[in-house]
Copies of this chain bind each other. A is one copy, B any other.
Amino acid sequence: MDVEPEALHITPARLSALSDGVIAIAATLLILDLKAPAAGQPVWRTLGHQWPALDTYAVTFLVIGIAWIHHHNLFHQVRQVDRTLLLLNIGMLATISFLPLPTATLGSHLRGIGATSAAVLYALSMTASALWFTLFWNHLCRHPELLHPGAREQARAARRKSLLGPAGYALAALLALVSPMGSLALCAALVAYFVIGRRAPPTRT
Interface residues of A (CB under 8 A from B): 1-4, 6-10, 14, 18, 20-22, 24-34, 36-44, 47, 58, 61-62, 65-66, 68-70, 72-73, 76, 83, 86-87, 90, 93-94, 97-98, 100-105, 108-109, 112-114, 117-118, 121, 133, 154, 158, 161-162, 164-165, 193-198, 200, 203-204
A196 to chain B, nearest CB (A): 8
Measured CB to CB, the nearest residue on chain B to A158 is: B1
A57 to chain B, nearest CB (A): 8
B2 touches A194 (CB 8 A): yes
The distance in angstroms between the C-alpha atoms of A29 and B29, with both chains bound, is: 8
A77 to chain B, nearest CB (A): 9
- With known contacts A25-B25, A62-B90, A6–B37 Cβ distance under 8 A: no
- Choose from B10, B42, B69, B154 the contact partner of A114 (Cβ within 8 Å): B42
Total identical chains: 4
A19 to chain B, nearest CB (A): 9
Subset of 15 A-B contacts with CB under 8 Å? A1-B164, A2-B193, A9-B73, A14-B72, A25-B25, A27-B93, A31-B101, A32-B32, A33-B36, A37-B109, A38-B108, A41-B114, A43-B121, A62-B94, A65-B90
**B-side contacts of A26, CB under 8 Å:** 28, 31
**B-side contacts of A98, CB under 8 Å:** 31
The distance in angstroms between the C-alpha atoms of A203 and B4, with both chains bound, is: 11
A117 touches B28 (CB 8 A): no
A177 to chain B, nearest CB (A): 13
A105 touches B1 (CB 8 A): no
The distance in angstroms between the C-alpha atoms of A165 and B2, with both chains bound, is: 10
- Choose from B4, B34, B68, B76 the contact partner of A18 (Cβ within 8 Å): B68
A1 touches B165 (CB 8 A): yes
Measured CB to CB, the nearest residue on chain B to A43 is: B117
B34 touches A3 (CB 8 A): no
